[in-house]
Every structure is written in structure tokens, then in C-alpha cells.
């Protein structure tokens, strides 16, 4: 963007997508209102994090699970813990789905994930 564009506002026809996406939420943002359910972002750092994931599901929260930390350290452990989570969650009527390479969505009973993409 040139000097005159800055003065006269030229070149601003395209939205700044990165700025918009960054404004959607801050990791340091504090939840001030109580809610029945939350979407909890969690990182899977070790196989022991199974308990943290299941504690959130048992509170009827939705978990957005980052599997990258364990995937880069222990692929066998990742497979084992995801299998345990899947068995537990499906057994209680919840659901689980991979949404990106390193993120898994896990829902409590009563919430199902549509696993096919709409056309």
C-alpha cells in the first residue's frame, strides 16, 4: 500500500481475514458468565491426560482436543489413549471425530457430530 493509498483509504477493499480471525477470541479471555456447557480446548500431552478429557466429558462439556503434543512424542501412546477415549465416549452415548490433522472433537452424551461434509 502506497503513501497516497494510506491517506485516501485506497487498497482497503479486501478484508483483512487474519485480523478478523485473531479478533474472535483471546486465549487469556476469562469466562465471566456461568453456562450449562463449555467448549474446552485441551492438549493431549501424555496418556495420563485421558482422565482430564473424561472429566470434562462427564461435566457435559465439549472437548476440542489438540493431539499434536502426544503425536510428536509417542504415536503408540496416542493410538492407545484415543482408543480408550473413543470406547468410553461412545459407550456413554457421546461422539468423537477428527476435524483436522491435529484436532479431535469429543462430545458428551446427547450431542452427535455430523461426519459427512455438506455439498
Ordered domains of the chain (ranges, CATH): 3-107 (3.30.110.150)
7 three-class SS: helix
- Report the alpha-carbon distance of residue 31 to residue 38 in Å, rounded: 10
- Report the alpha-carbon distance of residue 65 to residue 106 in Å, rounded: 7
Residue 12 confidence (pLDDT) above 70: no
- Report the alpha-carbon distance of residue 64 to residue 41 in Å, rounded: 5
* Residue 18 banded pLDDT, cuts 50, 70, 90: confident
Q: Which phi and psi angles does 58 have, rounded to 5°?
A: -65, -20
Per-residue pLDDT tens for 59-83?
Answer: 999 999 999 999 999 999 999 999 9
Residue 103 confidence (pLDDT) above 70: yes
CA distances from 9 to 2, 13, 15, 20 (A): 10, 9, 13, 19
* Per-residue burial over 11-29, b = 16 or more CB atoms within 10 Å of its CB, e = otherwise: eeeeeeeeeeeeeeeeeee
- Report the alpha-carbon distance of residue 54 to residue 26 in Å, rounded: 25
Amino acid at each position: 500500500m502506497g503513501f497516497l493509498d494510506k491517506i485516501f483509504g485506497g487498497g482497503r477493499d479486501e478484508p483483512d481475514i487474519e485480523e478478523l480471525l485473531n479478533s474472535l477470541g483471546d486465549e487469556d479471555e476469562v469466562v465471566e458468565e456461568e453456562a450449562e456447557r463449555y467448549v474446552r480446548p485441551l492438549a493431549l500431552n501424555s496418556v495420563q491426560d485421558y482422565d482430564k478429557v473424561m472429566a470434562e466429558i462427564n461435566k457435559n462439556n465439549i472437548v476440542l482436543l489438540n493431539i499434536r503434543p502426544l503425536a510428536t512424542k509417542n504415536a503408540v501412546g496416542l493410538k492407545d489413549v484415543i482408543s480408550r477415549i473413543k470406547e468410553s465416549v461412545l459407550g456413554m452415548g457421546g461422539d468423537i471425530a477428527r476435524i483436522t490433522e491435529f484436532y479431535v472433537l469429543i462430545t458428551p452424551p446427547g450431542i452427535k457430530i455430523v461426519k459427512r461434509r455438506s455439498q
